[in-house]
Homo-oligomer: A and B are copies of this chain.
């Protein structure tokens, strides 16, 4: 049943020519007679010949494959980034190996190791929330592998980076909450390690300060993960305060939705009594009741741009290259979970 795939040598033997001739014929080399070509191609089709890319890659030292490592494939955000990457990379006739680290540092290291052994031509990486040490990336780059970091920054690791201006997104959101009259604005932040979370928190803090508000540490609470269940817990904590907040800016939409459920259970009205803003603008977010105000990110472009930069690296061997640092602009999408501007 398990037949040996036919090779260039099989064709050569059957046709009484040399393997080189077959190879040349298959590549439509001008120095091969039409007859031979026809014969070779015909037989190749008949034998269902398929070039063995392993052999080709071994020879060329190019796999025409890039490795993508994301923390979670399940999330709308990363899944969409990947779509962008795929569309870009396809044009260059490159393939993608998609891997998820499940937010685990160990898995991330292992994945990089494996991809590296498999000799992928380049890496697109968004580190896990547990990753604080970037030696594995340093090592990767030290051995000459093109690496582009996206969405989540790796501080102190020099590389091409394509990020979203999380600070700006958060600032827009909180500034808007202030301007719509919210007095006690809370923030549900995410894992400390993540620059995305740090920057969103910084945006939150600065928006408060620029508007002359004092920061109340009780109004900042942290979640371990990014799920709605995490959001529920965090919201409960906030609502149990003696003077609960009248606005919550959540680290992302999933968390915001969990918060929304808790708020609703308590019979508190959104946005009259409490405003709610998320981050990501997931497809479902507009369908909640009330529809969720959120910060949209150029996710698809993030994928396109990251892979464009990576491909540029791979295809043109660049000397003395200055790493690029791209910051994409997010945008606040106002819906009904927050009040209108006066």
Contacts and interface: CB of A to CB of B under 8 A. Distances in A.
Given A1-B144, A2-B317, A74-B83, A117 B53 contact: yes
Contacts of A114: 95
A117 B50 contact: yes
A312 interface: no
Interface stretch (A168-176, A217-225, A253-261, A273-281): A253-261
Contacts of A212: none
B53 A119 contact: yes
B79 A143 contact: no
Interface stretch (A54-62, A126-134, A153-161): A54-62
B284 A54 contact: no
Interface in A82-141: 82-83, 86, 95-100, 102, 114, 116-119, 139
A264 interface: yes
Of A48, A58, A144, chain B has the most CB atoms within 10 Å of the CB of A58
Contact of A73 (B73, B139, B227): B73
Given A53-B118, A74-B76, A95-B118, A287 B288 contact: yes
Size range of the interface on A?
35 or more
B228 A283 contact: yes
Nearest to A51: B117
Contacts of A283: 227-228, 254
Nearest to A144: B2
A50 B157 CA distance: 22
Contacts of A82: 73
A65 B99 CA distance: 12
A318 to B, nearest CB: 9
A191 to B, nearest CB: 19
B58 A55 contact: yes
Contact of A117 (B52, B73, B83, B143): B52
A240 interface: no
Interface in A279-328: 283-284, 287-289, 317, 319
* Pairs A-B, 9 closest by C-beta atoms: A289-B289, A74-B79, A2-B144, A98-B98, A54-B58, A53-B117, A257-B287, A3-B144, A53-B118
Given A3-B144, A95-B118, A264-B289, 6 more contacts: A2-B144, A73-B82, A97-B98, A228-B284, A260-B287, A288-B288
